[in-house]
């Protein structure tokens, strides 16, 4: 099987795709033959990402979107369907991290993290699910974190969002399996990106965005009769 063209004719929607993990995932899916819809909040960053992918001869649509707002998500999905076609693959990658002692955190920080990391996955999945159900096929991949399984000091809000995302993923998977739709979670450890620096860690020993993109590609190339529900990724050396 030619894995570089295995997604020919399919449409992939990737959130938080202007840089880092999201951009790496979008590039990998495009290299596999998919037409790719990108979204992020900042239009200049999004346009740079789209130009980068187009230079690699990947068909791209870029739609500035706040994925915490249902009206903007509806517009994103409608524009993707109108321009590229029905969404075959949804990768919920958008995420932020705010860290500190839970007892001094603000309502604003709680809402910002939970809305971006958890609510957005609900909104985008809800928007694409009816068409996937009608077509009896589709893939939804939620980029969670090992922080969705392990508690650590000053991580209460972030961990809550990622634990919640794993719970949402599991329930969605059970509901959509009868319709031929696979829903999976990818849980990376620390990833070296400009967006999420990790003080005191050696970036060369950390996971790279392409490692997460590779995991997405693995899920896309599993046999029709299998269903990988969750995939953990760790670096070979502790950073």
Active site residues: 158
Give the DSSP letter of residue 37.
Answer: E
Residues 128, 138 contacting (CB under 8 angstroms): yes
Q: Is 16 left (phi over 0), alpha (psi -120 to 50) or beta?
A: left
Query: At 124, which helix (H) or strand (E)?
Result: helix 120-135
Q: Where are the beta strands (DSSP E) in the chain?
A: 11-15, 35-40, 60-64, 89-92, 138-143, 181-188, 230-233
Structure tokens at 101: 């002692």
C-alpha–C-alpha distance, residues 67 and 25, integer Å: 18
């Amino acid at each position: 099987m030619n894995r570089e063209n295995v997604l020919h004719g399919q449409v992939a929607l990737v959130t938080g795709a202007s840089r880092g993990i999201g951009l790496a995932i979008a590039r990998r899916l495009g290299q596999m033959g998919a037409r790719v819809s990108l979204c992020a909040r900042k239009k200049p960053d999004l346009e740079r990402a789209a130009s980068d992918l187009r230079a690699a001869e990947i068909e791209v649509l870029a739609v500035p979107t706040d994925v915490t707002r249902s009206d903007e998500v509806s517009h994103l999905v409608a524009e993707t369907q109108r321009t590229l076609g029905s969404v075959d693959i949804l990768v919920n990658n958008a995420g932020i991290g705010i860290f500190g002692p839970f007892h001094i955190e603000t309502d604003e920080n709680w809402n910002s993290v939970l809305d971006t990391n958890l609510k957005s996955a609900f909104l985008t999945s809800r928007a694409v699910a009816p068409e996937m159900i009608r077509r009896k096929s589709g893939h939804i991949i939620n980029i969670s974190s090992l922080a969705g399984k392990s508690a650590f000091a000053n991580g209460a809000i972030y961990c809550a969002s990622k634990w919640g995302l794993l719970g949402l993923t599991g329930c969605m998977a059970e509901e959509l399996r009868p319709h031929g739709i696979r829903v999976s979670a990818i849980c990376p450890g620390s990833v070296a990106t400009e967006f999420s620096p990790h003080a005191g860690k050696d970036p060369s020993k950390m996971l790279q965005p392409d490692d997460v993109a590779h995991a997405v590609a693995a899920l896309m190339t599993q046999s029709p009769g299998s269903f990988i529900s969750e995939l953990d990724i760790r670096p070979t050396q502790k950073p």
